[in-house]
Amino acid sequence: MSSRIPTQDHPGAARPPRSRTRSIVVWTLVALVGATAWTVLALSRGESVNALWVLFAALASYAIAYRFYARFITYRVLRADDARATPAERLHNGVDFEVTDRRVLFGHHFAAIAGAGPLVGPVLAAQMGYLPGTIWIVVGVVFAGAVQDLTILFFSMRRDGKSLGQMVREEIGLVGGIAALIAVFAIMIIILAVLALIVVNALAESPWGVFSIALTIPIALFMGVYLRYLRPGRVLEATGIGVVLLLAAIVGGGYVEQLGLAADLTLSKETLVLALVVYGFVASVLPVWLLLTPRDYLSTFMKIGVIVLLAASLLVARPVLANEAVTSFAREGNGPVFAGSLFPFVFITIACGALSGFHALIASGTTPKMVAKERQVRLIGYGGMLMESFVAISALIAASVIDQGIYFAMNSPAGATGGDAAGAAQFVTGLGFPTSPETLTAAAAAVEEPSLVSRTGGAPALALGISQVFHSAFGGGLQAFWYHFAIMFEALFILTAVDAGTRVGRFMLQDTVGNVWKKFGDLSWRPGNLLASAAVVAAWGYFLYVGVTDPLGGINQLFPLFGIANQLLAAIALTLATTLLIKHGRLRYAWVTGVPLAWDLVTTMTASYQKVFSDNPAIGYFAQRARYADALDAGQLLAPAKAPDEMQQIVTNSTVNGVLQSVFAVLVLVVVANAAVVVVRAVRAGSLPTTEVPAVASQLVEPAGLFASAGEKAAVAAAGSSGTGSAAEVRR
């Protein structure tokens, strides 16, 4: 027998009138706060705007979207049903299938989806002003990103936690499935390369940074041994020790000069690439408990700590935005950080935080196997993504409080600034943001870095913004500490992502090749592991090296590829969700995923088209290739190249990027076309059978939302006292 929560079929119907009135009053107030904040943002031009307006506009919008839209999707569109047992309940094995408390799972899921992405994209997009980024982050998450995470989590949960690739193959078709598999793998490689590139750019020529990041490895190893042999399972203890050691490593980094290590730890980008590639390979073949798991604990706790700290310090410091609402780069598309105009490139640059296809891999990975009750997908899928969006908004604010002269000096490629303060000041002043070499040197001195010029990748600019906000909120002359604290925290979870991503890539490769070469698919076969790991590391290592040595600036060249790849993955996920809604006979609700899919296809295909076919060499990869190839043939050198081999390098890189860009777009179109065939059949038939697992009655009683309602509390209590204790696992 399944125990049902009395109010769950008609939510709100059984509530007494007083609580209903109070609810109406509260939500009207939230709506008013949101409307006021958006109005202030919309009407302010050329005057100073407080960052809190951005924060309140976002928070009020999230609250309303979660309360009304996410509920509508979960209850009406998906028809999540708490009377149905989830895979965690049915297949419970204590390993991957495990009933997990919704609040704990929320933490796990959030830690898996949020990393450096929501911190970096908004920083780069700030070159177009704070307004385009703010609008896209909020509107994007509410109608696209969180909807994708929620629907994919739900559909995967209804299929015992199948992966995105598997679902595409079974629900759309073999052709689409193969295209999706290749796309997922290729996209992962690019994502790893770009993430690693961000770390390299943040650590190059920064002995303090290198010192503290290098120390994270022995710290994690120590925690790994501690958790496995010294005090097994004492995660909080080990993490507490780890965090203290980590903070000591950051403080210690300030003394590299006195320790006589400064010269040895001042590493070039090329050396760092080599170090990262070796690290990535070794880390991905070591046992998980030794390095990956403890590092994961560290980065998760640091992540949550920093986000809470950042939100609190924004409220205390109440900084005024230095950025313009919309800069001229948004219209003209000639910005130095990345080329292209507002449409479509803001929507490509900000992926994580608004819409991130990569999340579909996590929402169809470990999370769906741990959900306790179906309706909790609203909290975990939609709510988790809202939280990531909040991180993105905070990053956008942090990047927008920096003096704009310094912002552009940091984020313009070295080819443009010449790499020194004098050249950078001249270049940035020429852009229309007056600054002086002294200002740039002083900003670098304040955070005890040799230079901040052309520290591209977003991480250094974000760290500077965060250090300013923390400095003005808490005082104490600790700006250099906060800067390196922020760098460390970004590098920490990028390294976790690199480590985990390489391992996942290795499994995918072994699994796929295993179809034709059986032995290779055996995950316990050591040579197979080493070979597959080496292949994955070599793939992202190649792009990392290319990015680091690119005369045009790696971030400038690779970040659009990364963003488009991520959004194309989202297109595959939204295509799957839309197809499934229609196959389930819910055509009238197909717009819920269909509209964001259409928008995503329009932006990514426009961006892909421009990156491939634009005749502007700053945007189109092949136009760029032609320009440099022609000059090379004519024996000329074009800036920023300083030698013929640099010219050749640009020609090769633009060709590779252009080809890759086209392949990504074609793979997605194959999936969409394959899905269109299925959709037409489903519409004709009214509905089609799917691989959804048949319903089994649930024995579990648990609240659906973050907080239990009065009715749910009573139901939980009743299930606990009704003598079904052995069958019903009762939770608070």
Kindly list the residues in this chain that would bind other proteins in the complex (CB under 8 A).
94-96, 101, 103-104, 107, 112-118, 120, 188, 191, 195, 227-229, 232-236, 287-289, 292-293, 296, 351-352, 356, 358-359, 361-362, 365-366, 493, 496-497, 500-501, 503-504, 507, 523, 566, 732
Calculate the CA 431 to chain-centre distance.
30
Calculate the CA 338 to chain-centre distance.
19
Minimum distance between the CB of residue 348 and other proteins, rounded to whole angstroms?
14
Q: Which is nearer to other proteins, 224 or 658 (CB)?
A: 224
CA distance 44 to 401: 16
Minimum distance between the CB of residue 613 and other proteins, rounded to whole angstroms?
27
The residues with which 371 forms a beta bridge, in sequence order, are 100
Minimum distance between the CB of residue 101 and other proteins, rounded to whole angstroms?
6
CB 574 within 8 A of CB 140: no
Minimum distance between the CB of residue 108 and other proteins, rounded to whole angstroms?
8
Minimum distance between the CB of residue 407 and other proteins, rounded to whole angstroms?
22
Q: Which is nearer to other proteins, 118 or 413 (CB)?
A: 118
Q: What angle do CA 108, 109, 114 make, to 5 degrees?
A: 105
CA distance 578 to 580: 5
Q: Which is nearer to other proteins, 52 or 288 (CB)?
A: 288
Q: Which is nearer to other proteins, 184 or 660 (CB)?
A: 184
Residue with tokens 């933490």: 107
Minimum distance between the CB of residue 83 and other proteins, rounded to whole angstroms?
25
CA distance 149 to 377: 9
CB 570 within 8 A of CB 195: no
Minimum distance between the CB of residue 190 and other proteins, rounded to whole angstroms?
11
Q: Which is nearer to other proteins, 71 or 359 (CB)?
A: 359
Minimum distance between the CB of residue 145 and other proteins, rounded to whole angstroms?
12
The SS3 of residue 371 is strand
As given in the structure block, the two tokens for residue 83 are 């009377």
Q: Which is nearer to other proteins, 81 or 101 (CB)?
A: 101
Q: Which is nearer to other proteins, 100 or 327 (CB)?
A: 100
Q: Which is nearer to other proteins, 188 or 250 (CB)?
A: 188
Q: Which is nearer to other proteins, 115 or 340 (CB)?
A: 115
CA distance 453 to 442: 12
CA distance 617 to 623: 5
CA distance 565 to 191: 8
Q: Which is nearer to other proteins, 200 or 672 (CB)?
A: 200
The SS3 of residue 665 is helix
Minimum distance between the CB of residue 222 and other proteins, rounded to whole angstroms?
16
| Count of positions (residues) in the chain | 732
Q: Which is nearer to other proteins, 96 or 270 (CB)?
A: 96
Minimum distance between the CB of residue 121 and other proteins, rounded to whole angstroms?
9
CA distance 197 to 543: 9
Minimum distance between the CB of residue 104 and other proteins, rounded to whole angstroms?
5
In order of 403, 406, 468, 640, the CA distances from 440 in angstroms are: 10, 6, 15, 22
CB 523 within 8 A of CB 529: yes
458 contact partners, CB below 8 Å, separation of at least 6? 119, 120, 121, 123, 124, 198, 399, 411, 555
CA distance 56 to 68: 18
Q: Which is nearer to other proteins, 104 or 643 (CB)?
A: 104
Minimum distance between the CB of residue 496 and other proteins, rounded to whole angstroms?
6
DSSP string, 136-191: HHHHHIIIIIHHHHHHHHHHHHTTTT--HHHHHHHHT-HHHHHHHHHHHHHHHHHH
Minimum distance between the CB of residue 502 and other proteins, rounded to whole angstroms?
10
- Asked, as a colleague might, if the bond just before 640 is cis with ω within 30 of 0, I would say yes
Closest alpha carbon to 588 in 578, 596, 598: 578
Q: Which is nearer to other proteins, 11 or 107 (CB)?
A: 107
CA distance 419 to 444: 13
CB 630 within 8 A of CB 351: no
Minimum distance between the CB of residue 286 and other proteins, rounded to whole angstroms?
11
Q: Is 235 exposed, middle or buried (0-12, 13-18, 19+ CB in 10 A)?
A: middle
Q: Which is nearer to other proteins, 423 or 705 (CB)?
A: 705
